[in-house]
Amino acid sequence: MSARTTSKTNAQEAQGDWYAVHTYSGYEQAAVRNLMQRVESLNVGHLIFEAVIPTETRVRMKGGKRVEERERIYPGYILVRMILTEESQFIVRTTPRISGFVGGARGGVPTPLSQKEVDALFARIQSQTAKHHIDLHPGDTVQIIDGPFKDQEGRVGEVDEERGMVRVLVPMFGRDTPVELDYAQVRRIS
């Protein structure tokens, strides 16, 4: 699912609000680890409950094969569920690899995420449906590498990342004929 670290008990399950926290990009894992170590060592598990790196499953092509991998939804951000006090705010802000709260500019009061935002984000994080990452754009020239149109070239007309499909316009009989293919069946021509 997502990289999720918690210090909660069942009684604390519904406590606190979710806050978006800005980290150094690429250091989200270190920021979560540092924050939760500080929560434990400072004994503030009653204020800061959990930290999450929002990720989702994406399908990519590597070496001609489909590979599912977890990818950060918002690079440079983590989510922290906590009760906002001066102490908890200070602990989060002074944690190594964390640069501050989103919505808490210049020492202002951070704004929690709305319940609607939290629900939508966690639905996306917990979704078991892998999203396809297709590095093709309309107008790209591709070669079909599998199926009945193998070895033919065409132009990408449409990309449907949701379904992992590409509509390729293949010149046949003096006109472009649209052919819908799985993205694994085409390769971009440089």
Q: Give pLDDT, residue 131.
A: 64
Q: Where are the domains of the chain?
A: 3-131, 141-188
**For domain 141-188, is the CATH number 2.30.30.30?**
yes
**Pairing mode, if any, of strands 77-82 and 153-160?**
unpaired
Element at 119 (helix H, strand E)? helix 115-126
The per-residue pLDDT for range 157-186, each reduced to its tens digit, is: 998 887 778 999 999 888 998 999 888 888
The per-residue pLDDT for range 100-111, each reduced to its tens digit, is: 998 866 667 899
**Residue 92 half-sphere exposure, CB side, CA atoms within 13 Å?**
32
The per-residue pLDDT for range 64-74, each reduced to its tens digit, is: 667 777 888 88
**Pairing mode, if any, of strands 165-172 and 153-160?**
antiparallel
Q: Which CATH architecture has domain 3-131?
A: 2-Layer Sandwich (3.30)
Please list the residues that pair with 17 across neighbouring strands.
82
pLDDT exceeds 90 at position 47: yes
From CA 33, how far away is CA 44, in angstroms rounded?
15
pLDDT averaged over every residue in the chain = 84
